[in-house]
């Protein structure tokens, strides 16, 4: 994969996350600046022009490599010569990036599209309506309203969609496994839900989701303009090798800030890619990417149900994109990088494919 002439500036999340319909996505500490620096360092190492806030960025200092995702930060990146903005941040309607759409090239998603599909409940409902295999779920709040059940009625609410404990309690606009709990019975489900609602970090509504106790895998899907490992360009979204997640803690994959994903994840063996369940899941993830109009890389988490069917349960419009290269970062391959290595790519190969798909 050859280096192109783009001059790329990478954004990190400096803006506080907005409250959207009473829901909030908690900000990641550092605002993805670590991953942004990994991206910049890796691409610079293969000769790609990376525009940075200072002339000689220190590989050990993340903020030397990234601009804040504010209007001022984007303007500074452009003034420094950037022709491409890599939005390694959480986007939403009225994000400052909207002000430069059509003026620069973008690696990432359309802000309004990311906001729409960052709502995990509505996204899963849409995918289910489209005929894809999705984990069942419902919305819970302190008080009932249209489409949302009251916490006091949790047992009846679960029964209404054919569920019973154990269940997963999680934020609607969550990040990774933050705030996600496996509740073994109704008492535990009530307690976990009450704790999330009282804490308020994720807003006034949460999800109760079907717990699937089979294998967990995650699938990285790239947009059509991304070159495949063999150099060909697809006219549709396409997936890297699924990555198997193991060593879950209390039924939930631990937050990658606590346990690097390299310690509990590995690409699915090539021999398993002919299994009907694996083929069906991969095709479902590719179709999901099309349905959510993904312009950049997305990642979809799936688990097997009792019948061996992999069900989608968490579509990530902005997956983590950390990787090795900078000092002390040798174990920081993200899940997508693990998948890429199974295809014969390096971390920087994956990033170059993402850059090639800019719009």
Same domain, 199 and 146: yes
Burial of 291 (C-beta count, 10 Å sphere; 0-12/13-18/19+): middle
Choose the final residue of a domain: 185, 210, 235: 210
Q: How many domains does the chain have?
A: 3
What pLDDT was estimated at residue 218? 98
Q: Is the pLDDT of residue 1 over 70?
A: no
What pLDDT was estimated at residue 27? 84
Q: What percent of the chain has pLDDT over 90?
A: 89
What pLDDT was estimated at residue 2? 55
Pairing mode, if any, of strands 298-304 and 137-141?
unpaired
The mean per-residue pLDDT over the stretch 136-143 comes to 96
What pLDDT was estimated at residue 159? 95
What pLDDT was estimated at residue 66? 98
Cβ–Cβ < 8 Å for 78, 100: yes
What pLDDT was estimated at residue 172? 95
The reply to whether 356 falls in a domain is no
168-207 burial code (b ≥16 CB/10 A, e <16): bbbbbbbbbbebbbbbeeeebbbebbbebbeeeebbbbbb
CA distances for 259 relative to 250, 334, 346, 356, angstroms: 14, 12, 22, 31
What pLDDT was estimated at residue 177? 84
What pLDDT was estimated at residue 249? 87
Q: Give 175's contacts (C-beta < 8 A, 6+ positions apart).
A: 25, 26, 28
Choose the final residue of a domain: 156, 186, 210: 210
The Cα–Cα gap between 87 and 318 comes to 9
Same domain, 206 and 256: no
Same domain, 42 and 64: yes
What pLDDT was estimated at residue 25? 86
pTM of the model: 0.94
By mean pLDDT, which of 16-25, 154-163, 281-290 is the weakest? 16-25
What pLDDT was estimated at residue 167? 97
What pLDDT was estimated at residue 237? 98
Which pLDDT tens digit goes with each residue over 52-109?
Answer: 999 999 999 999 999 999 999 999 999 999 999 999 999 999 999 999 999 999 999 9
What pLDDT was estimated at residue 328? 95
Which pLDDT tens digit goes with each residue over 166-193?
Answer: 999 999 998 878 899 999 999 999 999 9
Q: Is 303 helix (H, G, I), strand (E, B) or coil?
A: strand
Same domain, 204 and 165: yes
Q: Would you tell me how many other CB atoms lie within 10 Å of the CB of residue 275?
A: 13
The Cα–Cα gap between 40 and 54 comes to 13
Same domain, 276 and 328: yes
Cβ–Cβ < 8 Å for 202, 277: no
- Dihedrals phi, psi of 133, to nearest 5 degrees: -75, 115
Q: Is the pLDDT of residue 262 over 60?
A: yes
The reply to whether 175 falls in a domain is yes
What pLDDT was estimated at residue 251? 86
Same domain, 231 and 283: yes
Same domain, 239 and 317: yes
The reply to whether 176 falls in a domain is yes
The Cα–Cα gap between 199 and 193 comes to 10
What pLDDT was estimated at residue 84? 98
The reply to whether 117 falls in a domain is no
The mean per-residue pLDDT over the stretch 116-126 comes to 97
Read off the tokens for 346.
């390096």
The reply to whether 61 falls in a domain is yes
Q: Is 43 helix (H, G, I), strand (E, B) or coil?
A: helix
Pairing mode, if any, of strands 298-304 and 310-316?
antiparallel
The reply to whether 358 falls in a domain is no
Q: Is the pLDDT of residue 211 over 90?
A: yes
The reply to whether 274 falls in a domain is yes
Band of the pLDDT at 250, cuts 50, 70, 90? Answer: confident
Which pLDDT tens digit goes with each residue over 309-356?
Answer: 999 999 999 999 999 999 999 999 999 999 999 999 999 999 999 999
**If you average pLDDT over every residue of the chain, what do you get?**
95
Domain span at residue 299 reads 216-345
Band of the pLDDT at 233, cuts 50, 70, 90? Answer: very high
Q: Is 344 helix (H, G, I), strand (E, B) or coil?
A: coil
CATH number for 322: 3.30.470.20
């Amino acid at each position: 994969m050859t280096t192109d002439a783009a001059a790329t500036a990478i954004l990190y999340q400096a803006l506080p996350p907005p409250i959207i319909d009473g829901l909030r996505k908690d900000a990641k500490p550092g605002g993805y600046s670590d991953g942004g620096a990994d991206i910049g360092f890796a691409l610079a190492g293969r000769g790609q022009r990376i525009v940075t806030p200072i002339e000689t960025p220190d590989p050990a200092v993340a903020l030397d490599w990234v601009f804040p995702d504010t209007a001022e930060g984007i303007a500074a990146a452009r003034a420094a010569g950037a022709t491409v903005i890599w939005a390694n941040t959480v986007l939403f309607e009225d994000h400052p990036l909207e002000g430069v759409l059509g003026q620069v090239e973008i690696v990432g998603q359309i802000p309004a599209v990311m906001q729409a599909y960052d709502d995990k409940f509505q996204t899963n409902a849409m995918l289910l309506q489209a005929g894809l295999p999705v984990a069942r779920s419902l919305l819970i709040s302190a008080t009932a309203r249209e489409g949302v059940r009251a916490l006091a009625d949790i047992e009846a609410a679960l029964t209404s969609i054919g569920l019973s404990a154990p269940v997963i309690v999680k934020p609607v606009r969550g990040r990774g496994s933050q705030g996600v709990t496996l509740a073994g019975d109704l008492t535990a489900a009530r307690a976990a839900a009450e704790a999330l609602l009282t804490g308020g970090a994720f807003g006034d509504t949460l999800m109760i989701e079907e717990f699937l106790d089979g294998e967990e895998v995650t699938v990285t899907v790239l947009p059509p303009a991304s070159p495949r490992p063999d150099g060909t360009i697809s006219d549709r979204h396409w997936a890297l090798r699924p990555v198997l997640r193991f060593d879950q803690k209390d039924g939930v994959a631990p937050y990658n800030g606590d346990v690097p994903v390299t310690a509990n994840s590995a690409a699915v063996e090539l021999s398993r890619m002919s299994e009907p369940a694996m083929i069906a899941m991969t095709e479902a993830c590719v179709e999901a990417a099309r349905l959510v109009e993904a312009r950049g890389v997305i990642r979809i988490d799936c688990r097997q149900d009792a019948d061996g069917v992999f069900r989608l349960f968490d579509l990530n419009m902005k997956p983590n994109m950390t990787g090795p290269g900078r000092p002390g970062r040798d174990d920081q391959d993200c899940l997508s990088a693990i998948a890429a290595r199974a295809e014969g790519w390096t971390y920087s190969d994956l990033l170059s494919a993402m850059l090639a798909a800019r719009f």
